[in-house]
Structure 1
């Protein structure tokens, strides 16, 4: 597969996943801000959303205030923000057009229709009253593309590169959410076990579409350590770090089989995956959750860079 086509399908999938993840983070920020009684605390929630997406400094350079509507419009529709949902969906569509002969008509149409739908929705400022509707549309369009991909594409290198892009992005997002939110969720230790505590942890789980799944596995108990274990090590949960890396491993194995050889990225992936599978949540906490997650994020970025180099991605 040509490097340009590999680059296009890999980043098409990453941009769509990142757009959906941003929408989920905005939803979390909005609901957590509603639980805060004063403006300073509400602003802090929106600051944490910007921090998780890596856009805090860029936002500060563009805006002096940090009100909810200003933040979520910046993240959703600001054309001067290259990481806004609108710009990411546009980038996904651009990459899909470049590889149009390598993807099915269903995948192209879902991506193109999603771009047109969201361009129309985001052509006007988003208000608090219709924020939920907008976020649902973003998540829905990403789901339609994934469905088209899963239901119509050959399980070849094109499919493998798209899936690898999706799960690298998803693993990075889960790690960032847990890293930023774990130590800042509670106003003070006095809230531990309270109804506010439980509501905030539930909102965190909803940011990774895991609230109901976690409840099924843990009988509704909102224990911080169990939540961290669920998001990192639960192989049944499709946004956990272990699950994402297992999917990346599977699709990288597909590339090795099709091309007849492994690359340096395979070895790097094996090392990170082995560490994930062999560790326990107790060992992670002994090491330091922040330190573990920062190391994981760094290694995930290295794997993405190695894949780009090994398969000669051309922008």
Structure 2
């Protein structure tokens, strides 16, 4: 009996790399809010920080003016310049493939006029590749700045409650919304920011009960930092990784202790350098006998 020919099994395809995750957009953030899917935001100030945050699954990267202190060593956020912030922001942009990049507009770069605010925001988009800019405050002047920037086609993330750039007026870096007057201001500022056209809102250092009172009125995603449950949360990278030294804000949780690990690693390196254990042979490059002879001859020939 003649055997029936069979079709050979198809050759297995080489494994293909997974398709890159879809880039986070403002529309996606709105969908996440509607679906009660928590939004993860973390600060980033350089290329490796952005890469690592993306690998960890962060949805939003905030190039915060907190970089003034945790990266540049200033004593307050108001010290950082537009040029410095653009340098940090551009580095983060180069490291971010998926996350939505939001850049803080530093103190002094928007206060003079709507025109100044638009000019600054345009620089962050054009020179740093920002997806959105963040602006503190919700008073009428700040709402006007938001409207102007949005009218120029640039998305804005608002920021109310504790606003570090104007902390002196608030009595220092302390929680807001703890008195009747302050609670009313938080609520009215939040609603004013939304009405001005902001795409999202950060609320900082406000009792969760006060935030809960305004959340039902906010259709834009709300990111909390020391403000209880919200649509998402943000923390400063150096705080959550245990790199920042000194007293931390009440709302900070340290999820790692990289500061101690870094010190331990450098101490071990220094000890091996001082003892002669490093570099060991495996850390050195081999040379051919001819190269060694040539080097010796060259050294001997120089008077």
Point out the structure with the larger helix share.
1
Structure-1-length-normalised TM-score: 0.25
Larger radius of gyration: 2
Larger relative contact order, structure 1 or 2 (CA cutoff 8 Å, min sep 6):
1
Point out the structure with the larger strand share.
2
